């Protein structure tokens, strides 16, 4: 998590793609010259020698798109094969190939004579780390399967990825308030801006592929302290109900079977479960799962409420260890945040709805309660797999975790008229 007080003009969180890449289908009506067969052997020297800045830094998405288009026209990547590890101090024939690829991409900017081009030195390790950082990978300076997979994504596929994300940037709704929260789903990051300045950045956990976190925009309306958990129907049927076959496993969850939807839940024995009324029928007769507030409650101590059509909210979690994972798709759609207390403190501080001591008082009571907010903090969830950082200008890519890029690229391609121009999709 990072706390920052940095100028940040309108920042849209964007996100990046993956090892699979995207392909435009080329038929008899080719939409771009990039569909034409290129030689396998690439000559990058002209592009590299003519660069006046690091090719990971750009002022706009348009500049990044043009740069990757030039790389794509110059030749295809030769595949880096193998699943072995390469790290500082190692010697291997692939090291020279990795160095030149990172040089073409702008992550390796050193221009010095090398006594052994197959030696993995400290400068190459730093360049690998820079590449990993801007691709959302584990930053260790080691070339392993995941880093090699990202290095193998061709400039043409990256170019297509940039086109898709420029389109997203153009159509996404922008903040109307100067205070807003943005969550980039594939980046697993939340950023809170106050007066258009970045105040805090923290890690998040989002929905897994089969239960994705939706793209939406809303306004924070309330904070719930020590929330209980009314288990949604899908989670009840798919995740919890099967554990009744192993009673000890069910008991460890801390979930209770209740009947009806009363203010004070009516807890009943599991043996009383009537499946004909399990999440169906009159509300007063329904059986459902519920979990009281407490240390094991999956919502943690704080829940951030904002109206939306998906029953999605932000909340804490007792599973803090999951924030250390590089790929954080573990939820059923809701957004788990790394430091809910800090975010709540900043929002209460800004709104002046309650004194700061109110937060600690409510959490210490361990009783469930809700505090309304003025509604002046917007919240956006975005799906960006590529973007240019507005502060540093560094080009970022992320994995297309929900595999949305190919469909949107196909739609973008279909919307373009047939032409002989080789840059149809870049206009």
pLDDT at 353: 62
Say whether 262 is catalytic: no
Same domain, yes or no: 263 and 407:
no
Q: What's the rounded Cα separation, in Å, for the pair 125 and 95?
A: 11
Residue 417: per-residue pLDDT: 65
**Given pLDDT bands bounded at 50, 70 and 90, which one contains residue 425?**
low
In the annotation, is 334 catalytic? yes
Same domain, 31 and 131: yes
Same domain, 342 and 374: yes
| 408 in the same domain as 322 | no
Number of domains in the chain: 2
Instruction: Dig out the tokens for 195 from the structure.
Output: 């007066």
Cβ neighbors of 193 (< 8 A, separation 6 or more) are 8, 11, 175, 178, 179, 180, 181, 182, 199
Among 18-22, 55-59, 352-356, 420-424, the least confident range: 18-22
Which of these is catalytic: 35, 59, 112, 334?
Answer: 334
Residue 205 within a domain = no
**Per-residue pLDDT at 12 exceeds 60:** no
Over pLDDT 70: what percentage of the chain?
84
Looking at the structure, tell me whether residues 19 and 50 fall in a common domain. yes
Please give the pLDDT value at position 130.
Answer: 96
Assess whether pLDDT exceeds 60 at residue 206: yes
Q: Is the pLDDT of residue 121 over 70?
A: yes
Angle at 176 between CA 173 and CA 178, to 5 degrees: 125
Q: What is the mean pLDDT of the chain?
A: 85
**For residues 77 and 339, what is the distance between their CA atoms, to the nearest angstrom?**
41
Residue 249 lies in a domain: yes
Residue 154 domain-assigned? yes
Place of tokens 């998590």: 1
Which of the given ranges, 25-29, 199-203, 243-247, has the highest pLDDT on average? Answer: 199-203
Higher pLDDT, 43 or 120: 120
Q: Identify whether residues 106 and 147 lie together within a single domain.
A: yes
Q: What was the pLDDT predicted at 416?
A: 76
**Of 35, 53, 112, 315, catalytic:** 315
| Residue 228 sits in the same domain as residue 95 | no
Q: Do both 145 and 292 map to the same domain?
A: no
Domain-embedded: residue 242: yes
Residue span of the structural domain in which 92 resides: 2-167+384-426
In a domain, 186, yes or no: no
Reported as a single tens digit per residue, the pLDDT across 267-294 is: 999 999 999 999 999 999 999 999 999 9
Assigned domain for 401 exists: yes
pLDDT-derived band of residue 112, with 50, 70 and 90 as boundaries?
A: confident
Residue 179 lies in a domain: no
Per-position DSSP letters for 205-262, written without gaps between them: EEE-TTSPPPPEEEE--EEEES--EE--HHHIIIIIGGGGGSHHHHHHHT-EEEES--
In CATH, what number is assigned to the domain containing residue 66?
Answer: 1.10.101.10
Decide if pLDDT at 420 tops 50: no
Residues 372 and 392 in one domain: no
67 plus 83 within the same structural domain? yes
The model's pLDDT over 207-241, given as tens digits with 9 standing for 90+, comes to 999 999 999 999 999 999 999 999 999 999 999 99
Question: Considering the domain boundaries, does residue 204 fall inside one?
Answer: no
In a shared domain, residues 20 and 99 = yes
Give residue-wise pLDDT tens across range 356-386. 788 888 998 888 999 999 888 999 999 999 9
Cα 179 to chain centroid, rounded: 21
Are 62 and 154 part of one and the same domain? yes
């Amino acid at each position: 998590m990072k706390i920052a007080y940095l100028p940040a003009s309108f920042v849209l969180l964007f996100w990046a793609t993956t090892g699979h890449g995207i392909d435009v289908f080329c038929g008899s009506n080719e939409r771009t010259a990039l569909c034409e067969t290129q030689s396998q052997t690439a000559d990058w020297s002209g592009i590299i020698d003519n660069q006046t800045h690091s090719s990971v830094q750009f002022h706009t998405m348009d500049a990044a798109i043009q740069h990757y288009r030039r790389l794509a026209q110059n030749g295809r990547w030769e595949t880096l094969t193998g699943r072995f590890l390469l790290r500082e101090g190692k010697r291997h024939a692939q090291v020279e190939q990795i160095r030149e690829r990172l040089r073409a991409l702008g992550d390796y900017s050193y221009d010095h004579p090398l006594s052994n081009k197959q030696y993995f030195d400290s400068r190459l390790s730093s360049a690998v780390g820079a590449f990993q950082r801007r691709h959302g990978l584990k930053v260790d300076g080691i070339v392993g399967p995941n880093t090699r997979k990202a290095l193998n994504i061709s400039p043409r596929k990256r170019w297509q990825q940039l086109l898709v994300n420029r389109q997203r940037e153009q159509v996404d709704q922008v903040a109307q308030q100067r205070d807003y929260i943005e969550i980039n789903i594939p980046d697993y990051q939340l950023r809170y801006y106050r007066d258009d300045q970045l105040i805090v950045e923290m890690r998040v956990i989002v929905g897994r592929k089969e239960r994705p976190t939706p793209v939406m925009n809303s306004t924070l309306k309330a904070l719930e302290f020590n929330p209980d958990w009314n288990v949604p129907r899908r989670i009840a049927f798919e995740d919890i109900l099967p554990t009744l076959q192993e009673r000890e496993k069910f008991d460890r969850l801390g979930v209770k079977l209740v009947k009806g939807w009363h203010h004070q839940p009516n807890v009943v024995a599991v043996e009383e479960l009537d499946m004909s009324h399990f999440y169906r029928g009159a509300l007063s007769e329904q059986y459902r799962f519920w979990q009281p507030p407490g240390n094991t409650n999956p919502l943690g101590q704080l829940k951030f409420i904002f109206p939306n059509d998906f029953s999605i909210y932000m909340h804490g979690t007792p599973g803090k260890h999951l924030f250390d994972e590089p790929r954080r798709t573990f939820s059923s759609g809701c957004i788990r945040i790394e430091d809910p207390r800090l975010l709540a403190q900043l929002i209460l501080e800004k709104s002046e709805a309650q004194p700061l001591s109110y937060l600690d008082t409510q959490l210490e009571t361990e009783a469930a309660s809700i505090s309304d907010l003025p509604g002046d903090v917007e919240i956006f969830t975005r799906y960006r797999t590529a973007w240019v950082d507005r502060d540093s200008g560094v080009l970022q890519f992320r994995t297309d975790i929900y595999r949305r890029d190919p469909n949107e690229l196909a739609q973008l391609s279909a919307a373009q008229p047939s032409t002989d121009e080789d840059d149809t999709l870049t206009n």
